[in-house]
Chain A
Amino acid sequence: MSVQKINERPSGFRSVPVLTDPEVAHYPEFKNFLVETFELDKDPLGTPGILDVDGRCYELIFVGRSGQPFPAAIEIAALVEGLEPMDTEQTDTDLWKIMEWLVQGVGGRWTIEALRTTGKIYRVMPEGIE
């Protein structure tokens, strides 16, 4: 797994929304990890967070909602070059890797092993993960 935070959004890429979670604080430790990783407490409405997943980039857009701690929601968008179609199978695999990066980063009782077992039970784990 190679998921890394990078600082600059590559130019010439369009943003394709691929996953939205309106309740990123459903488990507060997930939200806290994202706040720390992207320093959202310092600059909550700055540029989106960018993750490089094996050479492909994804934008993490943090969304606020009145009356709730920031961020309340998250939108993940694939950065796709020009007007080329997005490879959805690759995106599924990359999203899985982002989830593994997330649970590993959050730590504690959240583990890649539990995520993979859950994925196997429901047969939703993309090929090539292990």
Chain B
Amino acid sequence: MTRTIADLDPDIQKRYPYKSNFANVNGWRMHYVDEGPKDAKPVLLLHGNPAWGFLWRETVKPLLQAGYRVIVPDQIGFGLSEHPHAASAHSLDNHAANLVALIDHLDLKNIFFVCHDWGGPTGLCALLTRQDLASAVAVMSTWAWREPSSDFHKQVMPWLTMHAPIVGPYIMGRQGAFPGRGMYLSVVDREKFKTEAMNAYQSVLPDPNDRRLTWQWPRSIPVSPATDIAGDRFEWLEEGVRALNIPSCVIWGREEVVFTADVFAPKWHEIWPHAEGTHMVTGNHFLQEDSGYEIGELLSDFAGRNLS
């Protein structure tokens, strides 16, 4: 069944009051928001796991006020997009190609890519595939290299255990831990999140099969040779982003515990010596929940100075 923003709880609609659009990307139904003048410079806001466009609801506002066209897709498998059950649908390559298909469908040019979490590997792969269409890039709580630099991803408890065979589908699929408790633990103002946002993330992934990507996507992080199913793509990605020479901006949450600021932000500046920032904001992994509007202002200011 195709659901739109208008079909969701009124409180979610109030916080994310935009028109639903759909595009066919590689045979899948992708939901996206497309606001602002169609001839304005496009800003592409890319979420990760287990979020959807709703994560960017406050960030959208300053960008629209500044006159940009803002496009916010729900990655296939999340939000109001189609939730494929086939495991092979959820490779990094396929998700990146879905974004390429959306860019082509909308005939976007001079795109400002804004990447968070898995919106980084997918969005930056798409950027490299349509490099001539990119005008600038911003990254936050994300990475683009083969092996994560964080100890968090190498610890048996909880990361490796929660992604073990059978355990992952149980904890995150059957029990839905990630759009609920997992996100709750990864914001600063937990009570605000619980009151204003948690339902928006849980209600779009209501059944275990809808939540497949919440446990399957993290398994693409190459934490050991046996789990290295996307390593070659990550190597290609790192080589590509290192060669990228467009205006770049790094934004990070001070309270980030997964992609810690002291490790990941310097790595981005090593990759992109010309990058602006790091702009530090209040925020854990889902920093948009605590500083969404401020991030929108930072992006708008950066875009105003750097988009030609």
Contact = CB atoms under 8 A, between A and B. Distances in A.
A108 to B, nearest CB: 10
A28 B226 contact: yes
Contacts of A96: 170
B174 A95 contact: yes
A91 to B, nearest CB: 9
A122 B165 contact: no
Contacts of B161: 103, 110, 114-115, 118
Contact of A31 (B163, B165, B174, B182): B165
Nearest to A18: B174
A19 B165 contact: no
Interface string B134-176: 0000000000000000000000111011111111111101110
B165 A118 contact: no
B229 to A, nearest CB: 9
A38 interface: no
Contacts, number: 94
A23 B165 CA distance: 7
Contacts of A23: 87, 165, 216, 219
A123 B165 contact: no
Contact of B164 (A22, A27, A74): A27
Given A31-B165, A110-B161, A118-B157, A22 B87 contact: yes
Nearest to B88: A22
Interface in B177-213: 177, 181-182, 185
Contacts of B216: 22-23
Contacts of B94: none
The DSSP consensus for interface residues of chain A is mixed
Given A102-B166, A122-B182, A19 B174 contact: yes
A122 B166 contact: no
Interface residues of A, number: 35
Contacts of B87: 22-23, 73
B194 to A, nearest CB: 13
Most chain A CB within 10 A, of B163, B165, B182, B219, is at B165
B166 A30 contact: yes
B306 interface: no
B65 interface: no
A18 B174 CA distance: 8
B239 to A, nearest CB: 26
Most chain A CB within 10 A, of B160, B171, B173, B177, is at B171
A111 to B, nearest CB: 8
B227 interface: yes
Contacts of A22: 87, 216
Interface of A: 18-28, 30-31, 73-74, 76, 92, 95-96, 98-99, 102-103, 109-111, 114-115, 117-119, 121-124
23 contacts: A21-B165, A23-B87, A23-B165, A26-B219, A26-B226, A27-B164, A28-B226, A30-B164, A74-B166, A92-B174, A102-B165, A102-B166, A102-B167, A114-B156, A114-B157, A115-B161, A115-B167, A117-B158, A118-B158, A118-B161, A121-B158, A121-B185, A122-B181
The 10 closest A-B pairs by CB, nearest first: A22-B87, A122-B177, A124-B175, A114-B157, A118-B158, A30-B165, A118-B161, A24-B165, A122-B181, A114-B161
Given A26-B168, A118-B158, 5 more contacts: A19-B170, A26-B226, A73-B87, A122-B175, A123-B177
